[in-house]
């Protein structure tokens, strides 16, 4: 077995980053401005007539990547329900400029691959940390690449909590998947207890540092960061746009410090955690939210298409 080894880097500073309120600026120059913002995070209002439709979240720095929506079907479905979902997705019209990725259960990947419209890309929900071998139940990154599956989700909180995957193990998995040509939606996020004690950004920084330790700056072009507050996954609870934007801005600032301003500007940061057709528009308006990783709502074709099309509000 070949497992990617990760070089140690400097420890992440414990102090939470300071936020500066900046509007969207194309390219890494957005990361170099230093405009002070009051400590209270507020919603900024543009000049549009509809105040609800025009609310924008205060930004530290804005991402410049294309909006990206992933649908994580998790361990759900059967032949009939998967067929119905694919039919509904195929019938849906994607009108926004958005990259869309669907992640069926592993056993249904070939069926979905043969029937899903090419406007959707495919992702696996997991892969092994190294090359194939005597690892019963696992699927190697080489196998996904060999079957033209371009994406994989790694580091999801359910695998961290239920299967004991550590930050370091996930960093190694991300590096190996990239080395075999896959793109990765790399999940990070805090539990309710960690949020309540004010550790949200510290947790995100720690989880990201394990990936930073394992991949090169150039490799981040193959990574989408999926911020998913664990307390909001499948619970119906959603971080407010202010809370989500604040955390995304902190993640982007960390990436500027830990990797480079150019990578921080280009890397896309998805929000995940009970995103649905009712709240996606307001969340999409936030400057540092570059997409969504959708769970339950991705099993409803019409709802998922609505979420994808909310990308038109991210401008």
Active centre residues (catalytic): 156, 228
Question: What are 138's two structure tokens?
Answer: 């696992």
Among 31, 94, 53, residue whose Cα is nearest residue 315: 53
- In 10 A of CB 182, how many CB atoms? 22
Could you tell me whether strands 55-57 and 43-45 are parallel, antiparallel, or unpaired per DSSP bridges? antiparallel
Is residue 304 within 8 A of residue 275, CB to CB? The reply is no
Q: CB neighbours of 23 closer than 8 A, spacing ≥ 6?
A: 59, 62, 287
C-alpha Rg value of the chain to the nearest Å: 19
Q: CA–CA separation, 231 vs 249, rounded Å?
A: 19
CB-count exposure of residue 168 (10 Å: 0-12, 13-18, 19+): middle
Q: CA–CA separation, 159 vs 259, rounded Å?
A: 26
């Amino acid at each position: 077995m070949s497992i990617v080894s990760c070089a140690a880097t400097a420890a992440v500073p414990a102090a939470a980053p300071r936020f500066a309120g900046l509007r969207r600026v194309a390219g890494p120059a957005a990361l170099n401005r230093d405009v002070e913002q009051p400590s209270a995070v507020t919603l900024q209002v543009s000049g549009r007539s509809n105040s609800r439709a025009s609310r924008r979240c205060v930004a530290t720095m804005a991402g410049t990547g294309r909006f990206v929506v992933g649908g994580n079907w998790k361990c759900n479905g059967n032949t009939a329900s998967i067929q119905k979902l694919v039919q509904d997705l195929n019938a849906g019209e994607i009108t926004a400029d958005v990259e869309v990725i669907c992640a069926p259960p592993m056993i249904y990947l070939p069926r979905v691959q043969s029937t899903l419209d090419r406007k959707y890309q495919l992702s696996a929900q997991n892969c092994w940390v190294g090359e194939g071998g005597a690892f019963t139940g696992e699927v190697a990154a080489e196998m996904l690449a060999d079957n033209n599956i371009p994406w994989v989700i790694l580091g999801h909180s359910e695998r961290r909590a239920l299967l004991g995957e550590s930050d370091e193990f996930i960093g190694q998995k991300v590096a190996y998947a990239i080395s075999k040509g896959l793109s990765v939606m790399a999940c990070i996020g805090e539990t309710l207890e960690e949020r309540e004690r004010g550790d949200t950004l510290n947790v995100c920084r720690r989880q990201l540092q394990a990936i930073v330790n394992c991949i090169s700056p150039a490799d981040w072009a193959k990574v989408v960061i999926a911020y998913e507050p664990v307390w909001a996954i499948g619970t119906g609870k959603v971080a407010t746009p202010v809370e989500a934007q604040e955390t995304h801005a902190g993640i982007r600032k960390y990436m500027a410090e830990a990797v480079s301003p150019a990578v921080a500007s280009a890397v896309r940061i998805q929000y995940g955690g009970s995103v649905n057709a009712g709240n996606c528009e307001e969340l999409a308006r936030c400057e540092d939210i570059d997409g969504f990783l959708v769970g339950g709502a991705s099993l409803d074709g019409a709802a998922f298409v609505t979420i994808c099309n909310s990308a038109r509000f991210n401008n």
